[in-house]
Structure 1
């Protein structure tokens, strides 16, 4: 077994300032992290970007994945990839993210697709999304990275709900010659949306470029709900998935990682428990 976990520092350690979170993940025994876009604007000032890069480097952790700027998420935005009129903003944001990624060795950039907009034809949004994702993928390819596309739950106007929905987008991009794009399989979002997670893994395992987990109901840590996360992760592992599994949950306990023994947080171990001999 080769499961490796990382901490999503945008949903965990939120009691700390952003720049202190990589060190907190390291102190908890992890060697890798991921972030949603950690700045309020699409293009941070150079000094802000420098401080973020320094915080990750000083913590001694690897930044595996980084979201592109996704709009005003607290008010309901879920990406600007398919948002007409924001093309220049998105492309500037891509340049900013890839610049940070080049400095930190980021392997994947998550491009939230964007909500459906009133008075805008879905087909027009989808055409724009394909164009923007192609631009993002070309930028990511310059540093050997992949662009991720993710199904989401809890956002009624977000059109990508299932793994099939995302793979349709990936297939369109592949026909246009864009290859470094992949499915972000957030097992929580898929399950909450009613997708058949076992089928999705079996059918699309060759398209899965990153994995995230939380339990349901509640989006808490593994063991707080009823999802068979261990079985799903074992299935991914047996099928050849060798990426990280992002811990993207809302903690319910004082120690958000109590479910995962410390000795197994940095090493290779099976899905939710046993260290490899």
Structure 2
């Protein structure tokens, strides 16, 4: 694996052996000093008490929060975002303030806005109009704290319309053209792209400067690097050679205990500051 890239742990897929608020400390114990989360609450606008508890858990663990998803609906139930969902547009907009409020408190600057599945009875073009508007609003709000909104191709969700880097970048361009926002970029999850049949090497060669955040898992299985067949080490080295200086989120399902799934990354390279 690349020697100067910074790695951080997705605590929504890793350390699920312990309650959510204990996961930042578990990541710290494993040697990492940065984490990311999917939306960590049951509702788009949680109460102050829940938000304060989450912020305290990250702060008390001594880790940085470097990535946070906007509310994405019922992920276990199959939802993949509210951005393009007309009936839940207001819910997403209300969530923007909460998400960025957490980001402001914890110094988080990367915010992933899952696009949302295609819906029965709603024209795709109508969904896309809603999405461009909502992403523009999120980007404008995020710009106030130097934050970036991420657009991610996803696999394993048949009705999710962004499957390739090109499809996500087309959305990014539409938002930029519509709003002038410059703080919106591609979340390149090398696992999702590979599973969807995208040419990951070509994406890296042509679009590194437009990649704002990277996540990895191996395939098959979405487990830790080295458990499958993806050339992740080579691809991360290529990203670094082409100028990527962002984070690499470890967004995989450990094949055993979470703490045992980091053997591929020497402990001295887990902390971002050595």
* TM-score normalized by the length of structure 2: 0.96
Which of 221, 231, 234 is 1:231 aligned to? 234
- Asked if 1:146 corresponds to 2:178, the answer is no
Deviation at 1:238, TM superposition (A): 0.5
Q: Structure 2, unaligned stretches of length 5 or more?
A: none
- 253, 256, 265: which one pairs with 1:260? 265
What is the 5 A alignment of 1:78-97?
78-97=80-99
Alignment of 1:63-212 (within 5 A): 63-176=65-178, 177-212=180-215
What displacement does 1:267 show?
4.5
Q: Supply the distance in 1 between the matched residues of 2:25 and 2:130 (Cα, whole angstroms).
A: 38
Asked whether the equivalents of residues 153 and 189 of structure 2 are also in contact (C-alpha less than 8 Å), the reply is yes
Detail structure 1 runs of 4+ shifted over 3 Å in the superposition.
none
Q: Is the 8 A contact 1:3 1:268 kept in 2?
A: no
* Aligned counterparts of 1:97 and 1:83: Cα–Cα separation in 2: 18
Q: Distance in 2 between matches of 1:226 and 1:14?
A: 25
Distance 1:227 1:87 in 2: 37
Alpha-carbon distance in 2 for matches of 1:22, 1:217: 27
Is there any run of 5+ residues in structure 1 with no aligned partner, and where? 270-277
- The answer (yes or no) to whether the contact 2:110–2:148 under 8 Å persists in 1 is yes
2:52 matched to which residue of 1?
A: 50
- CA distance in 2 between counterparts of 1:169 and 1:267 reads 31
Retained in 1: the 8 A contact 2:36–2:66?
yes
1:250 offset after TM fit, Å? 0.6
Task: State the match for 2:249 in structure 1.
Answer: 246
Report the CA distance between 1:63 and its aligned residue.
Answer: 0.2
Change (3 A) 1:23 1:112: same
Residue 76 of structure 2 aligns to a residue whose secondary structure is helix
Matched, 1:218 2:221: yes
Cα distance change on mapping 1:127 and 1:245 into 2, 3 Å: same
Give the whole-Å Cα distance in 1 for the aligned partners of 2:273 and 2:6: 6
Which one of the candidate residues 20, 23, 45 is aligned to 1:21? 23
Q: CA deviation at 1:133?
A: 0.1
Measure, in 1, the Cα distance between the counterparts of 2:135 and 2:90: 13
The number of equivalent residue pairs is: 269
1:275 aligned residue = none
User: Deviation of residue 162 (structure 1)?
Assistant: 0.3
